[in-house]
Amino acid sequence: MASNSNPWFAVSLALVGIIVGYGVATGMNSSAPAGNKDTVVADDPTPEPPAPPAANLDDMPPISDDDYVQGDPDAKVTIVEYSDFECPFCKRHHDTMVKLMEEYDGKVNWVFRHYPLSFHSNAQKAAEAAECAGELGGNDGFWAMGDMIFEKGSDNTELASYASEIGLNEGKFTECLDSDKYADKVEAHMEGGTKAGVRGTPGNIVINNKKGEAELISGAQPFDNFKKVIDDML
């Protein structure tokens, strides 16, 4: 009993109480970082998917007699493809476009425009080669050359042999290609594509010809992505 009446004993008990109380309070406050106690990630709403990029249709050069078109000229939907013959993604996308033309025969047409990227050393001349093939062989010649380049590669030393293989006069083709006569047209395609919103290849502008509305589809996207856009327009 004498120990309980000692004043130092009372002081010790008080100090112990303070220390225990501080520890409990600190432990409670450290269970969640400041500002995060009300944050529950699982309950956050799912963000809306981004809207499809807009195509600046008013700034894109209109389709004209200088363009090469595959499919019905009066189709309800037009796909203007800006492409690079050396781009591996364009090569893969080319097969998708062929499939789309088969699937939507008479409903969709396809306009091919050039967008040779500066770091693809063969792309510029390959684009000019397609134009020379179009000069010598018409619409069929243009598309045949494009198919050939995507199939066999864009090596500039092989372009003349491709021309011969698709039935063109190799001498006249070589003369055309060496003249650089279509370099300006290819450059104009690139400028027009950039104004329309294209930033890489393949860049596809899908146009609802009845409503004058357009949607930009960038990259070598799956067939079903194009199908959804086209079906909505049709």
DSSP string, the chain: -GGGG-HHHHHHHHHHHHHHHHHHHHHHHTTS-TTTTT--GGGSPPPPPPPPPBP-GGGSPPP-TTSEEES-TT-SEEEEEEE-TT-HHHHHHHHHHHHHHHHTTTTEEEEEEE---TT-TTHHHHHHHHHHHHHHHHHHHHHHHHHHHHHH---GGGHHHHHHHTT--HHHHHHHHHTTTTHHHHHHHHHHHHHHT--SSSEEEEEETTTTEEEEEESS--HHHHHHHHHHH-
The per-residue pLDDT string of the chain (234 residues; one tens digit each, 9 = 90 and over) reads: 444 444 444 444 444 444 444 343 444 333 333 333 333 333 333 444 445 556 788 899 999 999 999 999 999 999 999 999 999 999 999 999 999 999 999 999 999 999 999 999 999 999 999 999 999 999 999 999 999 999 999 999 999 999 999 999 999 999 999 999 999 999 999 999 999 999 999 999 999 999 999 999 999 999 999 999 999 999
Domain membership flag for residue 25: no
Q: How many domains does the chain have?
A: 1
Domain membership flag for residue 10: no
Residue 180 sits in which domain range?
57-233
What lies within 8 Å, CB to CB, of 150 at 6+ separation is 85, 90, 91, 94
At residue 53, the pLDDT reads: 57
For residue 69, what is the domain's CATH number?
A: 3.40.30.10
Global model pTM greater than 0.85? no
The HSE-up count of residue 187 (CA atoms within 13 Å, CB side) is: 5
- What are the C-alpha distances in Å from 229 to residues 9, 56, 139, 187? 84, 17, 27, 29
Residue with tokens 């909505």, as numbered in its chain: 232
At residue 42, the pLDDT reads: 36
At residue 54, the pLDDT reads: 64
Domain membership flag for residue 210: yes
Domain membership flag for residue 9: no
Domain membership flag for residue 36: no
At residue 216, the pLDDT reads: 96
At residue 56, the pLDDT reads: 81
105: nearest Cα among 70, 149, 68:
70
Domain membership flag for residue 50: no
Domain membership flag for residue 197: yes
Domain membership flag for residue 144: yes
63: nearest Cα among 212, 215, 178:
212
- pLDDT tens for 121-167 read 999 999 999 999 999 999 999 999 999 999 999 999 999 999 999 99
At residue 213, the pLDDT reads: 93
- With the C-alpha atoms ordered 95, 150, 167, 142, is the resulting torsion angle positive or negative? positive
